[in-house]
Structure 1
């Protein structure tokens, strides 16, 4: 934990009692998800019986992830770690998707509104995201290479130390986080998918770190209240 930001180092070990509580919580979540699965099955069965499955757009996703003790964080969702920000997204629309396939390009929940608008024959020009219809139809060029993740420190928290305000840039293989405490995190998601080794001071990542700092300064504008990117330029 010595390479982690102060707020994470301040989190206590879960211990036997903490792990038992998390296991019980997980079981309750699994039961809830089983109910969700049953509802999804019922919806699909109803569409199939009414011969509407082929012309109905189905989008299955979640608003956020949840940490189940990873990184010493129990039952929280505000961190920039993958368990918190990465969620499933499944789309079925037979009118434009000929066969099942996977796509590894970066999308975000803000893309859902413009996607639904385009599928409905209209536009959402004020939305922050991009329609996913081009991805569903083919392999468009010029798709985004990174997404922005932000967190604003606010209100009480069950954590021993609250997660500070931050901006983060997530690319296909890298993640960079800059905190209002002037601390940084850099992870190589290809080599270190569990984000165990914080790499901002590693010489091999120097060039990528500098590039991600500049990208974050451009994307995190305007910055969240109480956060500034000015200090990033002064870092060695």
Structure 2
């Protein structure tokens, strides 16, 4: 049986975008089967508490967690670390919104740090707090509480709490004191501004968190969510006559002397002599010795600034234990996005789809979570909402773009309810290097990551028409762009990856959770052979069966019309497949 006979070749495939936009019938996804012991792990009939430590721009690839002994002691060794955990948009505001809504940025339409395409004003204008994790928890009887950075755009005139926090404790950092370590500005429950010049931000957050935790712990009946979000290790940000100035993060004075010999790891992709990235990156000059030295000092400043966060984690967990609440609490440590330091000649910053910017820390401890374990199951911030709901024993809305992470020791990560072989990373807001004059309007891309069954691919399409392909099993530092060579030698692989990206670029809900069901909506004879057993295509490995080559070769390609620094669905389209020589 020819695979391309399963669907009408071109006309039907042009409807992939419509299918991915959610016009398929969505199935409701209730909480997956947690096994008979699930409710017992945190007390039968009770709901667990959640404490979330959410840092800002913390790296995974430069091993900053290794410099945090207390996080290692209290969370890493007492819980599970997910090593393949990602943000799906490498910028603070879109990433944080995806974490709380469980949706990709193309569904939230929060794609930048500030108006008109992002920030707190756009978040509230779009009423995203009508349908998000804090609201679902509140409806189930949770007391939701927040201290620290939420997203950019919380100002002295726009400091009101979003839904889910209006009736409890909402204490955000407020502009222009969000990114100032010794001049933080807070507002509690839309009340008076509290400016604490001379006080160290993380220590203030620590004191506030302990006081709030003491209040929460006195109520033994209502479960709670407590989010603690210091801005370390983010740069300090200052505003001067329309200019935005970045300076290295400032440690507490007691930590200024630490890590004098630390420097950015000199991995193979650090300031390379040669590289074959897309054009705007490829043409970057090599960093000078002075710039490398600046990056090393920034690296040390970042590590030093995280030490107060390390102490904060210990203090909160010990106080939780004092109140007898530790055994009934899930403690999560993560960040909003990663950070590059000299990768591919890029000065400090984020915003690309490369591993340094999107692979981020995620640690969890709590009832039923394995201790001292690393787990390489694929997960992203879009999985976070479903994960918390599942651990709380609550149903999961069917519009979420990702399922729960298999965080419990008893979980079978290969179960259909946990399958997340692939996800998209997307970006529209251009690029800049912090505290540099460099700007690029060509950092607009859609990319897809595929893990599992021996595959580990990164494939991207850029607004310039350029492509990248990396096999991270062979090239973990993304040094050699294999797109052109693969297009000639293994065009069938490009066909599959591009088709997958074509689904994920506009997916919603079920189509994000199972994109292969769009490309293969029915069970098919195994291997395309008539009379063979029926098999559902669930992975790239399944889709790589040779019998599907003609089908995938018939599909159109994904492309941008031009480089627009905001999300515009009409700017993203499918185009007829070009001959190989034109692609080259």
Distance 1:81 1:96 in 2: 33
Match of 1:210 among 468, 485, 495: 495
Task: Please say if 1:168 is aligned against 2:436.
Answer: no
Distance 1:154 1:200 in 2: 23
Distance 1:68 1:169 in 2: 23
Match of 2:420 among 133, 141, 144: 144
Distance 2:276 2:343 in 1: 16
Task: Please say if 1:65 is aligned against 2:338.
Answer: yes
> Bigger radius of gyration, 1 or 2?
2
Distance 2:301 2:441 in 1: 26
* Equivalent pair of 2:287/2:342 in contact (CA under 8 Å): yes
Q: Which SS does the other structure have where 1:60 is aligned? A: strand
Which sits farther off after the overlay, 197-206 or 37-46? 197-206
Q: Kindly state the Cα deviation for residue 12 of structure 1 after the two structures are TM-superposed.
A: 1.9
* Equivalent pair of 1:22/1:69 in contact (CA under 8 Å): yes
Q: Which has the higher helix share?
A: 1
Which residue matches 1:42?
Answer: 315
1:138/1:78 Cα in 2 relative to 1: closer, same or farther (>3 Å)? same
Which sits farther off after the overlay, 79-88 or 12-21? 12-21
Q: Deviations over 1:77-134 (max 9, x none)?
A: 11110000000111111x22244422212100121122222323334524333222x4
* Equivalent pair of 1:12/1:160 in contact (CA under 8 Å): no
Match of 1:122 among 382, 388, 394: 394
Q: Which SS does the other structure have where 1:230 is aligned? A: strand
Distance 1:107 1:71 in 2: 25
Q: Deviations over 1:211-233 (max 9, x none)?
A: 11110011112684274242483
* Equivalent pair of 1:65/1:84 in contact (CA under 8 Å): yes
Please list every run of 5 or more consecutive structure 2 residues that lacks an aligned counterpart in the other structure: 1-273, 508-559, 561-566
Q: Which SS does the other structure have where 2:449 is aligned? A: strand
Distance 2:443 2:316 in 1: 41
Task: Please say if 1:220 is aligned against 2:505.
Answer: yes
Please list every run of 5 or more consecutive structure 1 residues that lacks an aligned counterpart in the other structure: none
* Equivalent pair of 1:166/1:227 in contact (CA under 8 Å): no
Distance 1:185 1:114 in 2: 31
Match of 2:290 among 12, 17, 22: 17
Which residue matches 2:472?
Answer: 189
Q: Which SS does the other structure have where 1:131 is aligned? A: coil
Which residue matches 1:104?
Answer: 376
Which residue matches 2:482?
Answer: 199
Q: Deviations over 1:141-191 (max 9, x none)?
A: 230111110001358664353442110001121100110111001011111
Distance 2:321 2:424 in 1: 38
* Equivalent pair of 1:186/1:200 in contact (CA under 8 Å): yes
Q: Which SS does the other structure have where 1:138 is aligned? A: coil
1:69/1:205 Cα in 2 relative to 1: closer, same or farther (>3 Å)? farther
Distance 2:441 2:468 in 1: 17
State the Cα RMSD in Å.
Answer: 2.3
Distance 1:20 1:199 in 2: 32
Which residue matches 2:124?
Answer: none
Q: Deviations over 1:21-75 (max 9, x none)?
A: 2112111101111121111111121122222221100111111100001111111
Distance 2:432 2:342 in 1: 19
Distance 1:147 1:60 in 2: 22
- Higher relative contact order, chain-length normalized (CA < 8 Å, sep 6+): 2
Which sits farther off after the overlay, 77-86 or 12-21? 12-21
Distance 1:231 1:180 in 2: 14
1:29/1:84 Cα in 2 relative to 1: closer, same or farther (>3 Å)? same
* Equivalent pair of 1:180/1:227 in contact (CA under 8 Å): no
Q: Which SS does the other structure have where 1:69 is aligned? A: coil
Distance 1:72 1:232 in 2: 35
